[in-house]
Amino acid sequence: MEPSEAASKNKPAQVAIMPLAYFPPIKYFQLMLKHKSVVFDVHEHFHKQFFYNRCVISGPNGAQKLSIPIIHKGVRTALKDVRISYESNWRAIHWRGFEAAYRRSPYFEFYEHYFSPIYSDFKPTFLFEWNMKLLEIMNTIFGNKIHFSFTTEYIESYPHANDYRALAAPSVLAANPIQIPKYLQVFEERNGFINNLSIVDLLFCEGNNMLQYLK
C-alpha cells in the first residue's frame, strides 16, 4: 500500500509515517502501537549518525552506542539502497555488547534465541533488510500488532498522517526530550535510569510486561 492510499482510507491519527531504524528507541514502538497502520519511509535519504544504523543500549558504563558500518555511496542515497559493510565483524561485536549489557537481566535468556542466529548467520546486503528482519521479530514478540507497509516514492509531507520521520535524528530527541516512565534497568544502581533506550532494553528488562508498559 502506498502511503497516500493509507492516508486516504484512514483517519489522520490512524496512520504513522516512520523511519526504519536499527532496534529503535522505546518511543518509536509506543507511537507505532497507537496507530492502525504504519508506513515506513524507505525512500528518504540516509543521514550519518541517525538511528537508521545505530541503537543505544545500557551497558556497564552507561549509555552505549552500537553502529552498523555502511558502504558510503554519496550523500543522497535512499535508505532502501544503503549497503552494509562487513569489513569488520560488527555482528559479533554487537552481540557481545548485548550479552554484556543484558545477560543478567530477567528476560535475556528467554528471548535471546530470537536474535542470536541473526547475529551469527544473517548477512543481508542492505541495511533495509537487516532492520526489517529485526522489526519482524519484534512484531512477532508483540503478537503481530503492528500492521506496516512501505513507501514507493519520497513524499516531503503527509498532511493526512502523523509524520514521525524526524525522530530518526538524535538531535531532534535531544531538543525535545521524551520522558519514558521508569522501569528497572540492569545497571540502574550504577548509572541511574537512562531514558528512551533501544527497545531491546525494555524487552530484556520487562519481558512479558513490555506490551502493557508501551500501552
Domain ranges of the chain: 3-214
Q: Which three cell numbers stand for residue 143?
A: 503478537
The more confident residue out of 27 and 5 is 27
More confident residue, 160 or 111: 111
User: Residue 183 in 3-state DSSP?
Assistant: coil
Q: Region 144-155: what's the mean pLDDT?
A: 90
Cα-based distances in Å from 18 to 40, 42, 97, 145: 5, 9, 26, 16
Instruction: Indicate left, alpha or beta for 18 from its phi (over 0: left) and psi (-120 to 50: alpha).
Output: beta
Q: Which of 27-36, 174-183, 188-197 is the least confident region?
A: 174-183
DSSP state of 2: -
Task: Evaluate whether 21 touches 131 at the Cβ level (below 8 Å).
Answer: yes
Which pLDDT band, with edges at 50, 70 and 90, does 13 fall under?
A: low
Convert 138-155 into a string of H (helix), E (strand) and C (coil): HHHHCCCCCCEEECCCCC
Q: How far apart are CA 6 and CA 37, in angstroms?
A: 7
87, 129 Cβ separation under 8 angstroms = no
pLDDT tens digits for 84-118?
A: 999 999 999 999 999 999 999 999 999 999 999 99
Question: Tell me, what's the pLDDT at 90?
Answer: 98
Q: What's the average model confidence in pLDDT over 72-92?
A: 91
